[in-house]
Amino acid sequence: MLHQLSWKVGGQQGEGIESTGEIFSMAMNRLGYFLYGYRHFSSRIKGGHTNNKITVRPTEVRAIADDLDILVAFDQETIDVNYKELTENGVILADAKFDPVKPEDSKAPLFAVPFTEIAAELGTSLMKNMVAIGATASLLNLEDAVFQNVVDDIFGKKGEEVVQKNMEAITRGRQIMNELLGERVGQWELAPADGKRRMFMIGNDAVALGALAAGTRFMAAYPITPASEIMEYLIKKLPKFGGTVIQTEDEIAAATMAIGANFGGVRSFTASAGPGLSLMMEAIGLSGMTEQPLVVVDTQRGGPSTGLPTKQEQSDLMAMLYGTHGEIPKVVIAPSTMEEAFFDTIQAFNIAEELQLPVILMTDLQLSLGKQSVEPFDYDKIEIRRGKIVIDDLDEAVDKAYFKRYEDTEDGISPRVLPGTLHGIHHVTGVEHDETGKPSEATGNRQTQMDKRFRKLESLKFDNPVFVNAPHEEADILLVGFNSTRGAIEEVQERLNAQGMKVNHAHIRLIHPFPSEEMAPLVAQAKKVIVVENNYTGQLANIMKMNIGGHDKIATITKYNGTPFLPGELENRVKELTR
């Protein structure tokens, strides 16, 4: 039996590749297996090669597998592009419709299975994906019943006949594969799982659910890959809680609408990717100057410009920290797991209102769209903190002056009133202003207000700014990363420690303000520090050098071709740097 199975389905975009992977994943997840899935897809609606690679284990997994056990191909391109990933015991299941050809240097057996022909016999060629699921079931020694409740959930609304046809397609696929395999049926059977039910979700779902749990009731956004699922999720869910989503004309409008809604007292946010973040910069500066809460989710992708809209990259980091003109206090958070994406979203809303400033929650495409098994969230951990909001009407000032919305307080955080509060009238403007919001260019006032705004960061409350797995007091290597590189780094750390090296791992979750107190000792205790990131210039490494030094021992491993790090690839590159 296998401890880990890597399964991939590929074909042309628009012919059911995603649904094939979804059905297989849902069934395996409901059996209690842990899964990690990553889709490769083109930036077009239909056409172009796409594949979905899913790693399945009876134990936790958060990284893409290095190799491949089963390749399900709906076209020749899928075989040609992916066959080199196959293990010595790998297998290719190909649709007989396109007369599949096995590459000369491939050792994996190829089985031409009439996916399309069987589906057409049952009524529609669209069911070829279900035939492929059945063929997979033969390899894994799974009964048809494993897929029954998944098919019921997906096709139940279309009627019993549709459900039965899809189940028949699975049965036919398994039967014909049994005939082709003979004694090899079940050769790729997985070790049993624990049978426990878990959530199966993408990072965007975790962020959207976190926003809902945080009490947000308004989202303004413009559709963009890979952020759109956050908006799509909340379009369905927010109205059930008295909230709404508005699709704006662009990201400038989205950010300013979110600022306006927060000004009115409604927890609000927006989500986008790199190009949208660029358009939001002036509004982020407005949030900082007017001290209005603003949460922005940036799902990083390949850039610059339109760049690689559907590919992995982590190159927005410097833009998030320094993209605005002038200087404002802001907080930048980088979750690295589904659980962190959920709870860090809640933290982002709390921080934005407590400190009255913009908070950027950064993810990347792999974290945003990678789908994995997740233990149920502990909702008892949720805490809502809204900061210095004045709830009751105010007493009229003795001198009948405007309310000091930007009062120079000891902690830099001023009382915040909502529109309509009696005696709470004040100015709100994007130019420099005095305590009541009236425009002021006085030098003393400018210094006072700048000092006040930045003093707020001293009150920042953020749980666990760095995830640390440091079993060694003195390490040969400290591996550092952020966002989705965590899974690959964790596997590499385990492998290298097993080989006798002393490897620690630090994953930075609070990028700004930088957690120097937490990171400096870890860097000091390591002979070499290797920062792993998906960009060209080593942005995180440069930020580390700016904040804690260590230039003589910090090295980088970068990747910027649009694909995530694989554990084996990363392991080899770490070894190259330490020879």
Across the beta sheet with 466-469, what order do the strands follow? 466-469, 503-508, 475-481, 526-533, 554-558
* CA 460 to chain CA mean position, Å: 24
CA dist 271 and 349 (Å) reads 13
Per-residue pLDDT of the chain in tens (579 residues, 90 and over written 9) = 899 999 999 999 888 898 999 999 999 999 999 999 999 988 776 778 999 999 999 999 999 999 999 999 999 999 999 999 999 999 999 999 999 999 999 999 999 999 999 999 999 999 999 999 999 999 999 999 999 999 999 999 999 999 999 999 999 999 999 999 998 888 899 999 999 999 999 999 999 999 999 999 999 999 999 999 999 999 999 999 999 999 999 999 999 999 999 999 999 999 999 999 999 999 999 999 999 999 999 999 999 999 999 999 999 999 999 999 999 999 999 999 999 999 999 999 999 999 999 999 999 999 999 999 999 999 999 999 999 999 889 999 888 899 999 999 999 999 999 999 999 999 999 999 999 999 999 999 999 999 999 999 999 999 999 999 999 999 999 999 999 999 999 999 999 999 999 999 999 999 999 999 999 999 999 999 999 999 999 999 999 999 999 999 999 999 999 999 999 999 999 999 998
Q: For position 45, what pLDDT does the model report?
A: 67
SS3 assignment, position 177: helix
User: How does DSSP classify residue 412?
Assistant: S
Q: For position 127, what pLDDT does the model report?
A: 94
What count of Cα atoms within 13 Å lies in the side-chain half-sphere of residue 555?
A: 16
Domain boundaries in the chain? Answer: 5-197, 201-371, 388-463, 466-577
DSSP assignments along 71-105, one per residue: EEESSHHHHHHHGGGEEEEEEEEEEGGG-----TT
CA dist 419 and 371 (Å) reads 42
CA dist 300 and 535 (Å) reads 11
Which residues 6+ apart lie within 8 Å of 422 measured at CB?
393, 394
List of long-range contacts for 427-432, beta carbons under 8 Å, 24+ apart: 427/402, 428/263, 428/290, 428/292, 429/290, 430/285, 430/286, 430/289, 430/290, 431/289, 432/289
- Quick one: which of 325, 387, 404 has its CA closest to 352? 387
* Sign for the pseudo-dihedral over CA of 258, 259, 265, 270: positive
Q: For position 184, what pLDDT does the model report?
A: 86
CATH of domain 5-197: 3.40.920.10
Helix (H) or strand (E) holding 331: strand 331-333
User: How does DSSP classify residue 112?
Assistant: E
pTM over 0.85, yes/no: yes
Instruction: Classify domain 201-371 at the CATH class level.
Output: alpha beta
Q: For position 1, what pLDDT does the model report?
A: 87
Cβ atoms of residues 455 and 485 within 8 Å: no
Residue that the structure tokens 């909340």 belong to: 234
- Quick one: which of 63, 336, 58 has its CA closest to 198? 58
Which residues 6+ apart lie within 8 Å of 459 measured at CB?
354, 355, 411, 412, 413
CA dist 324 and 348 (Å) reads 19
Using alpha carbons, list the distances in angstroms from residue 409 to 6, 160, 388, 438, 455. Answer: 57, 67, 12, 18, 9
Q: For position 493, what pLDDT does the model report?
A: 98
Q: Which residues of 126-148 are buried (b: 16+ CB within 10 A; e: fewer)?
A: ebbbbbbbbbbbbbbebebebbe
Fold identical between 5-197 and 466-577?
no
Tokens of 570: 């990363």
Tokens of 82: 């992916």
Looking at CATH, the fold of the domain delimited by 466-577 is given as: Rossmann fold (3.40.50)
